[in-house]
Structures are given as C-alpha cells and as structure tokens.
Amino acid sequence: MNGGRGHVAGIAGTGRPAGGGSDSDGGLPAGAPARSAVTARPPSASATFLAEVVGDEAASGKLLPLGVVLEMMDLVAGRVAYAHRGGGPVATVSFDRVDMLKPILHLDLVTTHGRVVSVGASSIVVEVRVTREDRATRQAIPAVISYVTMVAVDPETRRPFRGVATLTLESPDDTRRHAEAARRKALTATWTRMQKAVDERAEAWTAAEVEDPINADGKTYALSMAETAVTVRKQYLPRHKNFGDAIFGGDILAVMDKTALYTARRFSGNATMVVIGLDRISFQAPVLPLHVLHLVARVVYVRRYTVEVEVHVSLDRRVSGEPQVSSHVGSFTVLNLDEAGFKRPVMVGLKLDDADQEGLRTYEKAKQRFYFGRSNGGEEGEANVATSKVAERTHSFWLN
C-alpha cells in the first residue's frame, strides 16, 4: 500500500474533477492494467474499515485537527472504491458535507467505516462513518459522517473508466443507505444552484441586504474580508507522491484544514479554536510534485461562536510551462472555545461594504450555506437509530 498513499495521477483531458489521490490501486504499480470488472456487486463485497490510534503522545487529550480525520476518510473511501471496481486506479472527486458530531482527541482509537451506497457509469459514492472509542465504556461513539465520491480511472488514458460494476442492494439497510445517498445528491444539486444564483444576479448587492444581524451582535470591532486573508504556498517533496506520481489527497486536505484553522485564530485572536465541519470540497485538478500549492484563506461569515473560512487552492505550474489553475475549494467551520473547552463568543465581525461586490457575494453565499446546512445537514443521525440522539444533541451544540 506504499504507506497508505494513493495511486492517482488525475483524470487528464476530461474537464472533470480529479482527485489529488486516495488509497486506490491496492498496491498496483503505476500504469498496471485494471482488473476486469463484474457486472454487479453488493455493498458487502467491498465494505471495510480502517482503525488506528491517532495523534501525538505530547498532545494526549487535546482536540485532534479535522484534517487528520479527512485523510483517514479519504483512505478508506479509496480502499472501498478500489475493491468495488475490482482493481485499478480511482480518484477522489469530492467530499459531501462533513460534520463533526463528537470531538476526537489525540490518542483516541478512531475507526473509519466505508461502504458503497451509489454507483454511476464511472463514479462510486462511498458512505464514510467515523467513530472514536470511549475508553471508559469501550463503546464506539459516532463522530463524523460524509459521502465521498470517487471516479474510476483508465490506467492508460487517465480518463474516466466507464465499466464500473453496478450495485446490488441486498438488504433493507442497503436500500435505506442508497436512498440517503440519492437524497444527499439532490441536496448538493440544490446547494449548487443556490450558490450559482448569487453569482448570476444582475443587480448589485448591498451590505444592508446581505448582512446577517448576528454579524454585529456582541462584536467589539470588525475587519474586512481582505484583512482576514492568509496566503500559504507549499512545495511538496517526492515522498508525498502516490503511485500515479500525484500528491496524496489526504496531504492536501490536511494543509487546507491547518490553513483554515490558522486563519480563524488570527481573525479572532484566540488560539483555542477547532475545525468542526467542512461544507463540501471538490477536487478539480491533480497536484504534481513540480507544482506549488497556492492557498488563499479568508473569513467569509461569522456567527456567535463560529466562523466560516473559505480556502481556495490553485496550482502554480510555471515550472512546467503551464498556466495557474484552480484545483480545490472548501469552506471550513471553526468553533471558538475558551481555555476550559467551552464555547466562547467571537468578538470580531466582518466589515461589509457596498463597493466590494465580490465580498458581498461571497458573504451571501456563505450565509446561505449556513442556513441550508442547518435545515438539511442534520439528518445523518436520523439515518442510524443507534446514533441519532447523541448526534442530534451534539450537532445542536455546534450550530448556533
């Protein structure tokens, strides 16, 4: 498995998103032919889990960065998609909404469960559920859930491989999970149309129109979005490559998470913050070792206890003679805490200006994302009777 690294080189020449990499080829060398696919497989044939004690001894008991969890989710999703395909490379296309239902701490035993819930001509949607063990009770506590879309890739052309086995639903649980995946897909389509409509509006936006009253409630001062911006440029080394010579997607997710957290801490002036959610992330281009990862993060929305940080990633490809291209974008929700770990109000708001139309559109989209997520993002717990009560109580704690 090459240290758990994936084997994706991206999907060349398709115009479709390509993953930065996932655990995908099951140990196949780059360029190895894909194994033949069967016509149909049940979810049980590829379902699996990964488990490990996470974090560092020196930080035992402290909150674990979400980026570490995202990396584990990416790995198990790739493992499951590879198994469903029957061998051959797969690439990460996107993560659906990721909600931290329970905190995960350094030195927790964390388990990621992956299961195929939907299949297209070349796409494979994997439901990923993350649990942490409560050491006192030795019970698995639901912590995170999301849906990761992978795409099968032809190992020679690096284009989508349109021969993925269909999905055979064997049980009522399979049917329920499949229906939930369809519901989430419909929500994502609605979410996309909603965001696009903001950009396409012909009339100018005004600060009075878009500002959420909570932006000024209890705040002592305000910063413009430009004043919150943080730029990070990262060069990866050959050791970060997967078998397809692209940079492992988990590494990219981790640096996006770290940048979002730093941006939120810089904005609030408080070091005790934690990333608790990710509102969809798309992988639009593969990252190669010659590329420089150019990240720009800024605070785009503020609640009473949380801030949303939008992270845009582009690739500086001048060394290879190619133009700079957008590769990843994601919005991270960061919770403000005090030293004892309790919620603490954010004392800084965002300064909105009618002259900054791009900033107003960005704020309006972030505001819509929040309320859309509040209305539609909490059903994960209801889908699992055993976890619904804990998930709903914890989820309501995060959202404010």
Give 122's contacts (C-beta < 8 A, 6+ positions apart).
151, 152, 160, 161, 162, 163, 164
Query: Hey, where are the domains in the chain?
Result: 2-169+204-376
For residue range 263-298, list pLDDT tens digits in order.
999 999 999 999 999 998 888 887 877 888 999 999
Query: Residue 209's pLDDT is what?
Result: 96
Cβ 296 vs Cβ 105: under 8 Å: no
For 387, the token pair is 């976890």
Give 195's contacts (C-beta < 8 A, 6+ positions apart).
365, 368, 369
Q: Which residue in 146, 375, 131, 397 sits closest to 280, CA to CA?
A: 146
Which amino acid is it at 118?
S
Cα 331 to Cα 158: distance, rounded to the nearest angstrom: 29
Cα 309 to Cα 262: distance, rounded to the nearest angstrom: 10
The residue ranges of the chain whose pLDDT is under 50 are 1-37, 378-400
Query: Residue 153's pLDDT is what?
Result: 85
Cβ 313 vs Cβ 127: under 8 Å: no
* Integer CA distances (angstroms), 344 to 212, 215, 334, in order: 19, 15, 12
Count, in order, helices (H) and strands (E) of the chain: 8, 15
Q: What kind and span of H or E run contains 231?
A: strand 230-235
Crossing angle for the helix pair 357-376 and 172-200, to the nearest 10 degrees: 160
Q: What kind and span of H or E run contains 343?
A: none
Which amino acid is it at 306?
T
67: number of Cβ within 10 Å: 23
Query: Residue 26's pLDDT is what?
Result: 37
For 40, the token pair is 């149909």
Query: Residue 24's pLDDT is what?
Result: 40
Cα 30 to Cα 162: distance, rounded to the nearest angstrom: 19
Cα 365 to Cα 357: distance, rounded to the nearest angstrom: 12
Cβ 92 vs Cβ 150: under 8 Å: yes
How much is the CA Rg of the chain, to the nearest whole Å?
21
Phi and psi (nearest 5°) for 246? -100, 165
Query: Residue 285's pLDDT is what?
Result: 80
pTM: 0.82
Query: Residue 244's pLDDT is what?
Result: 56
Tell me which fold the domain 2-169+204-376 belongs to.
Thiol Ester Dehydrase; Chain A (3.10.129)
